Amino acid sequence: MNTGAPRATIERLCRYQQVLAQLERERVETASSADIGRLAVTNAAQVRKDFSHFGDFGRRGVGYSVSELRARLRAILGTENERTVVIIGAGNLGSALAGYPGFEMRGFRVVAIFDNNPAKIGHWVEGLRILPLSDLATVAAEQRIDIAVIAVPEAAAQAVADQVVEAGIKAILNFAPVYIQVPADVGARTVGVTCQLEYLSYFLAQSQGSSEAEES
């Protein structure tokens, strides 16, 4: 999947969007690259470098219009128009994701939730009736689904991903603790919660090791 910019840059653009949303809520009208960098936990030079991949941004000595920059980043990220999302897996995680208000605030609308457990099908979660997974292809075609969120156990993740691909959905966000295999024309991201915890554990181990070395 060719984005036209490094993946790390795209990931930072998402962070900048969060920062700009925060500034808008605080009714801040303009922000400098230093302001954005500080809030996004990077620096002004990196902010300017990231923006340079997409043309000229802001005005020297004035900074960036927060509202205009948000609109520009939405266009780059493809979220200026609403993206339709389905969730596969109506367990605790899938149900929580279905009710997450941040999706709609950022331009993502959850339109359906699926499960293959007969005991769950037909029940309601956050205003959505749980549908059988066998209906995925039909819903994907009728509602032009952009993104599928996979929230199923590890053992089922690849089979579900295969069904998503067969349904013609071209983007997958995977919460199962396993990396899924998809064709080159399908974008997939795995949310590695355990990996993030391991990173923090490493940070703690290093910090504790430094403290012990200083005391000895």
Does the pLDDT of residue 130 top 70, yes or no? yes
Name the residue among 117, 114, 134 with its Cα closest to residue 125: 114
CA 88 to mean position of chain CA atoms:
16
Q: List the CATH code of the domain at 83-194.
A: 3.40.50.720
> Cα torsion at 164, 168, 173, 176 (round to 10°)?
10
Residue type, 41: V
Greater confidence, 208 or 168? Answer: 168
CATH second-level architecture of 7-77? Orthogonal Bundle (1.10)
pLDDT tens digits, residue range 137-192?
Answer: 999 999 999 999 999 999 999 999 999 999 999 999 999 999 999 999 999 999 98
pLDDT-based confidence at 215, cuts 50/70/90? low
> How far is 74 from 105, CA to CA, in rounded Å?
12
The pTM (predicted TM-score) of the whole model is 0.81
Mean pLDDT lowest among 78-92, 159-173, 186-200: 186-200
Domain chopping of the chain, boundaries: 7-77, 83-194
Q: Could you give the C-alpha distances from 182 to 28, 40, 154, 187, in angstroms and in order? A: 42, 31, 16, 8
> How far is 41 from 11, CA to CA, in rounded Å?
13
What element of type H or E holds 190?
Answer: strand 187-190
Residue 180, helix vs strand vs coil: coil
